[in-house]
Amino acid sequence: MDLDWSAADLAFRDEVRAFLAEAVDDELRAAGTRMTSVYPDHHASIAFQKKLAARGWGAPSWPREHGGCAWSVVQRYLFARERLAAGAPPPPLGIHMVGPAIIRFGTPEQHARFLPGTLSGDILWSQGYSEPQSGSDLASLQMQAIDDGDDLVCTGSKIWTTHAHVSNWMFALVRSARESRPQQGITFVLLDMHSPGISVRPIVMSSGEHIQNQVFFDAVRVPKANVLGKIGDGWTVAKFQLEFERSNLASAPESQLRLDELRRFAASVRTEDGDSMLDDPLFASRLAAARVRATTLEHYELQALSAIAGGGSPGLAASIMKIVGTELSQHLTELALDAAGFYGRAYQPQAFRPGGDVMLPHASDATNGPLAAAAAPLRYLNDRAATIYAGSTEIQYNILAKAALGL
């Protein structure tokens, strides 16, 4: 296994850097670097997506015939790493989640209808998977879809639906039949969010931001032409899509950047004795341990990268990287909160660019204390969900136990 970058890889990296240096203005950089969770300001995300689409770089993993770049997995990794370093916001979720699923399972008509708008940012997707009683155990979902001629009539609700209040389409899993196995009888549908019978109720996060929602469906008619794949075989589509969601091969570079920022911040923080936080042996050892974990994760990601480049699949590596990456992310928020000290007690969302409107009362004047300290409690609170979304850590362990150990 050769993990060195080739001359062509380095030339591509330099091309990406040059583009990002011109394309990422102060507005986009503020949106990318002042996020309080994994969710960017959706306006900034779409604005950056339009710049990428104009350059022909809007969909790194899509084939060229559908408007994508057809980049190699190495190029995609390098682009993701450079985007993070440039401070640009991440793309809308449709690019890396439902887009590949539509390409893989969609009809030519669905390709023509949904892919161009997803690529340009004119179609903003939300994900309708979790339900009030069906989260990590996704196969237990109950939202009903009754066959009625050319339509499926959908009734039920979805919860923790990111950006459902601003999205114009949703990809969702619904229960179209009762079978012996819960994974059977599930259908993957593409829902127009302007359909009659849909209502959205905000869920305000513990940080005060409106990013998540509960969505209610009251006899919503979904044309069968909007079923992705076959009716009753939505679990196959969902597994394919979830593999993309969990196999973030740029988690380690993001962790390394966060560690660099945290180290700079900790060096500026002074204790009562006038020493730097880095002079505290306990804090310094925890910071060093986090660096070791980030480096280990990066080596693991590069190994997975090599396997995929050779024609393989993320497979179980997706679950492993999901566990390690999200647990490390939570650990970094804990270290940042420790470094913030009493400044971390203040509620100052006005200094940041969260993924949604801030619903709780807050001051509108300048930030008190270091910016990194003001960010610490918001990111700590938001990142509590990291080990839950996209399949909880416990579910990932179950997957590994069953598939890798035969338990």
- What are the backbone dihedrals phi and psi of residue 75, each rounded to the nearest 5 degrees, phi first? -65, -40
Residue 209 falls in the annotated catalytic set: no
Global model pTM greater than 0.85: yes
DSSP state of 209: B
Average pLDDT for residues 167-172, to the nearest whole number? 97
Q: Does pLDDT of 189 surpass 80? A: yes
In one letter, which amino acid is 140? S
Residue pair 373/340 in contact (Cβ under 8 Å)? The answer is yes
Average pLDDT for residues 224-237, to the nearest whole number? 96
In one letter, which amino acid is 352? F
> Could you tell me which residues come within 8 angstroms of residue 169 by beta carbon, excluding any fewer than 6 positions away?
114, 123, 124, 125, 126, 190, 191, 192, 193
Average pLDDT for residues 370-375, to the nearest whole number? 90
Right CATH for 247-403 from 1.10.357.10, 1.20.140.10, 1.10.600.10, 1.10.287.310: 1.20.140.10
d(CA 55, CA 51): 6
Q: Among 18-27, 30-39, 205-214, 312-321, whose mean pLDDT is lowest? A: 312-321
Domains 126-233 and 247-403 alike in fold = no
In this prediction, residue 243 carries a pLDDT of: 67
Q: Does pLDDT of 2 surpass 70? A: no
3-state class (DSSP) for residue 220: strand
d(CA 31, CA 39): 10
d(CA 188, CA 145): 11
DSSP code string of 317-372: HHHHHHHHHHHHHHHHHHHHHHHHGGGGGS--GGGS--SS-B-S----SPPPS-HH
d(CA 407, CA 398): 9
d(CA 115, CA 104): 12
In this prediction, residue 1 carries a pLDDT of: 47
Average pLDDT for residues 137-164, to the nearest whole number? 95
In this prediction, residue 316 carries a pLDDT of: 77
Catalytic one among 209, 245, 254, 301? 245
Q: Where are the domains of the chain?
A: 7-91, 126-233, 247-403
**Tally of CA atoms within 13 A in the half-sphere of 264 that contains its CB:** 8
> pLDDT band for position 361 (50/70/90)?
confident
Right CATH for 126-233 from 2.40.110.10, 1.10.3720.10, 1.10.260.40, 3.30.70.1450: 2.40.110.10
